[in-house]
Structures are given as structure tokens and as C-alpha cells.
Amino acid sequence: MTKELTVTTEAVDDIPILVATAERMGVAGLLDEHFAVDSKWQGLSLGKMLEGWLSHILSESDHRLNQVEGWAEARLETLQGCLGAEVRALDFSDDRLARGLELLSDDEQWKSFEAALNQRSIRVYKLQPERVRIDTTSASGYWQVTEDGLFQLGHSKDHRPDLPQLKVVLATLDPMGMPVATQVVGGNLADDPLYIPAINEVRQGIGKRGLLYIGDCKMMSLETRTHLEAGGDDYLGPFSLVQVSQEALDGYLKGVWTGKQSLKSVKRRGADGQLQRVAEGFELSENVTAIAGEQEVRWQERRLVIHSLAHAKAAEAALGSRLQKAQSAIEALTVRKQGKKPFTDAETLRQAAEKLLEHYDAQGLLKIHISEHQQERQVRKYGDHPAETRHAQQLTLTVQRDETAIRKTVRRLGWRVYGTNCPKSQLSLQQAVLAYREEYLVEHCFGRLKGKPLSLTPMYLEDDRHATGLTRLLTIGLRLLTLLEHVARTHLAERGEKLPGLFAGNPTRATDHPTTEAMLRAFKNIYLNFVTVGGQTYQHLTPLSKLQRNILRLLDLPASIYTRLDVESANPP
């Protein structure tokens, strides 16, 4: 008699790593502590449910609520083994997930949770906060605009001003990029007033003063700088031409043009490991007085006048191209073409040329000369028309480059003024320039948040509370990604090693800067198989490869997070 054979397979993949890291961060416990659910809540706790959902989001790059229940049903044994609790597919129904997002949207409870999560992460991962980078981004979607709603039309960083958007403010720790403060606000709000609330949240969450806050020119408003100085923190950022005018910058640069002001070179190592000069500059100081509340605040501000060599070179090339286009367009005004009406009035021609100068931003750099002269043309007799001499006014236009003005413009390219209240003993000119140039760190965070694997956009939610809660949940996932990356890179640096095997098609290629996404991809195709025959169920887990064990070692995670799944189940499928 042939015995019936039943085989069931669950895709384990990177779920144990994601859940184990979330547990190490204390996500589930802190969520349950700071967000109270009602008495009707049954099954998995809020924290465990959101941990499981977060592992789905990171593993599948999909935040849609209606996809999670089916995903969980196909992985019940894996989720139970990882979460350490009994799991039902209904624990991840879209209604329960939506309720979880509503709870996360509570501002006061979120601030309390975020502060506790910061303190635990700093303690568990032995982080030394010194620099915080603050920036904003927007997420656009096909939403309905309501009068007081979250989704509003505003300046779009997605280049879609026609779509409603929400705005996200992130404060992240350098150099790892871990978020420590998150704000989700209406898409029509200006950036400037969002910095002080973000700074206050960082202060509350980290519990440390004397940090260096790095941001763009919107963070450098006098109000924000005063708030940082009065609170015992430092700042670094560039001034806009509104904050430090072009005339003021020209005044700073007079000594450079006369040769009286010496410049310090700023160097950094390139991809080849060699030092390269990337900028030059000097610094001066300004006394600043402002009011914070009812208190007068005075401090000495260092102003760093920096010349970026790469920016100057690119700007000079762009200027040359712009002037060439302007000259060609202006000269084409008097070129005769079929169907083109010639200019007969010098003033009209001059206005057209000046309009092109303004369009190409070439005013003062190109000289225009228009001359008028009479042209005689002999017309022969034709039929009843006698021969005659016709007189017509002809306009000649010439364009010349004002080389003196162009040279003065070129020498001003690439210069920018930065401000900081951090003492020179703690932040040299070179350190300040290089610190600001690491702005790609926060941009990388935004890329992860809005793209894969977190996939904030496109967002398939329309309720303001759900959108706020989802954005906050995704920033927890962003923390997880940055912490995994930080741990692996730190261990590689300490051991002087590189990790091979992450690059498809080139298994010998090694890196000392592996990304979390690449390491997690190495755990695809790990399966938990259940074979039932003759009433007896056997389990088998795909053995871990050498690469996978190496990655777990770098992440400070035991192999048992996988091997413990390969035990007899009390309730096999």
C-alpha cells in the first residue's frame, strides 16, 4: 500500500534577520509600552504584528496592506519561530494593520516611543552621537486635496507640482544615517519653520547637547541658528544669497582678488586612494546678536568662504554654453528667412535682443550694437510699371562678448559662504567642508525611504492617519537598515577584512562597504520544507552557505535564528 506524501514549503529568506534585528532594537516591546490598544485587541500584540509587517515590507519591497495576510499564511511556521508567538494569518489582516497605523499616527505617543527607541539603539549599538543632519523631502501621489488635510499642493522635490504631496522631515545621525527624529507634515508647509521642532525632538530623544547640526540654507535662518546657540548646540550650513548677499560676498573676496588674502586648500582621498584638492577658502568671524524668547543671545560666528573647484569648473562650462546660445539666438534675429517678418525698427529689435539676454541670464556679459542704414534697390520696368529706385531701411545687429565682465563673473563662480558657531579647535575649515559634503548620506536615506526596499512612493493610502502611521513605520525600517549596515561595516573595518560573494557574476569581488540590501539578497531561496508521510511530519531547512554564515557573523547574529526553525513543530501544516 502506497503511503500518501504531502510536501509543504515556506520561503524563509531574510525574515529571521529582519525580525531578530527588530527584537534587538526593542521595537515590539517599546511599541507595546508606548501605544495602548483597546480591550478588544486579540492575537499577536501590536508590537509583534508591526514587526512581522515590517519584515514583509523590507523583504518584499511592498507596503500594501492587502498583501500581508496572504504572505503570512504562506509562512506561518517561519513567523511563529521568529516572533516567538502563535501566529494566525488573520493577525495581519488589512483591518488590523490599518488600526496599527492609526495608533502610530498619535503625535505624543510617537514622540515618546521614538525617544525611547533612540536611547535603546544608542545603548545597545554603543553609538556615539556627535553630528545630526536634518533635511526634508516630499512624497507625491494621486490624492484628494482637503482644506486641513495632510495631502496638499506645494513645492515638489519629485518634480510633480501638479500632484498633492506630504512632507517628511528627517534628522539622522552621521555617518550611519540612522533616523532619530521624524516629522510628517502637510505638503504645502515651508521648510524653514520645521527645523526647530526637529531639533527639539532630537534633544529629547538623544538627551545630549553639544551636537553639531548640519543642514542646508533653510536651516541657517537666524531664528534656527539662535535656537541652536541658545541651547548649547552647534550648527553648520551654507548661507543663501538672501542671508549673505552677493555684495557682501564680493566684499569678502576683495582680499582674494588683490592677493592679500591667502587660501587654505581642502583635500580628500579619491577613489584611487590619493589626496585630491577639492576646494580652497578662508574664514572670518562676525558678531551676531539675536533674541531667543525674551533672552538676548550673543555669539561669534565663523564664516567660511569656500571655493569649490568642481562646482566652479562646471559653472564656467555652463556659462560658456549659455553665452554661446544667447549670442546665436540674438544674431538669428536679423537673419532673413521665408515667412519671417524682418525688423524695421531699431528699438523693437533692441527689446527683442534684451529679452533674449534676460532669458539666457547674459545681461552685462554680451554687448549689442544695432546700426541702421538705407538700402537702395533698382526695380526694372515691368508692364505698365515704370522703372524706379526703392529705398528700404536695413538693420544690422552685432554681438560682442564683454571679456572683462566675463572674467569677473568667472572668478566669482564656485564661491559660497558657510556659517558655524563650532570652535575652530573642534571643527577646522577642512573638516567643516568635508562634513557638509557628506550630504549624500541623508539623500541616501531618502532614496531608501521613497524607493526600494521601503517604497513610500507610490503610496496606496488616502487617510491622513494611515499615511502618517505608515511613514513613521517605514522610518523604523530605515533605522533597521542603517543599523545592520553600520554593524557589518564596523566589524569589517576592525578586522581589516572585505566581504566577497555579494556581486552576481563576480564571486571573488570583495567590498568593505556592503549595503544591507546586498547582504539580505544573499539569503534569498532559503526554504523550510515539511514532508508528511504516514502521519509523521519531517522538517528540513535549506542549509546555510559559507557566505550566509559570514554575513550573520558580521551582523552579530547567531546562526540559530535560522537553525531553530528546523525542529519538530507542535502544529505542522
One domain for residues 282 and 335: no
Is 145 part of a structural domain of the chain?
yes
Give pLDDT tens digits for 57-108.
Answer: 999 999 999 999 999 999 999 999 999 999 999 999 999 999 999 999 999 9
One domain for residues 319 and 269: no
One domain for residues 179 and 126: yes
One domain for residues 198 and 323: no
Is 422 part of a structural domain of the chain?
yes
DSSP readout, 153-185?
Answer: ----TTS-TTS-EEEEEEEEETTTTEEEEEEEE
Residues 303 and 235: their CA atoms lie apart, in Å, by 12
pLDDT bucket at 447, cuts 50 / 70 / 90? confident
Give pLDDT tens digits for 381-435.
Answer: 777 778 776 666 677 888 899 999 999 999 999 999 999 999 999 999 999 999 9
Global pTM? 0.89
Q: Is the pLDDT of residue 234 over 90?
A: yes
DSSP state of 101: H
pLDDT bucket at 570, cuts 50 / 70 / 90? very low
One domain for residues 349 and 452: no
Is 543 part of a structural domain of the chain?
no
Give pLDDT tens digits for 319-373.
Answer: 999 999 999 999 888 887 877 788 778 888 889 999 999 999 999 999 989 887 7
Rounded to 5 degrees, what angle do the CA atoms 552, 59, 69 make?
A: 130
Locate 119 and state its grid cell. Answer: 536611547
One domain for residues 406 and 420: no
More confident residue, 460 or 198: 198
Is 430 part of a structural domain of the chain?
yes
Work out how many domains the chain is built from and give that number.
2
Q: Are 499 and 512 in contact (CB under 8 A)?
A: yes
Is 15 part of a structural domain of the chain?
no
Report, in angstroms and rounded to the nearest whole number, the Rg of the chain calculated over CA atoms. Answer: 32
One domain for residues 303 and 327: no
By percentage, how much of the chain surpasses pLDDT 90? 68
Is 527 part of a structural domain of the chain?
no
Give pLDDT tens digits for 12-31.
Answer: 999 999 999 999 999 999 99
Q: Go through 324-357 and write b for each residue having 16 or more CB atoms within 10 A of its CB, e for each that does not.
A: eebbebbeebbeeeeeeeebeeeeebbeebeebb
Residues 100 and 97: their CA atoms lie apart, in Å, by 5
One domain for residues 139 and 253: yes
For 122, the domain range is 107-307+416-461
One domain for residues 150 and 211: yes
Choose the final residue of a domain: 370, 388, 410: 410
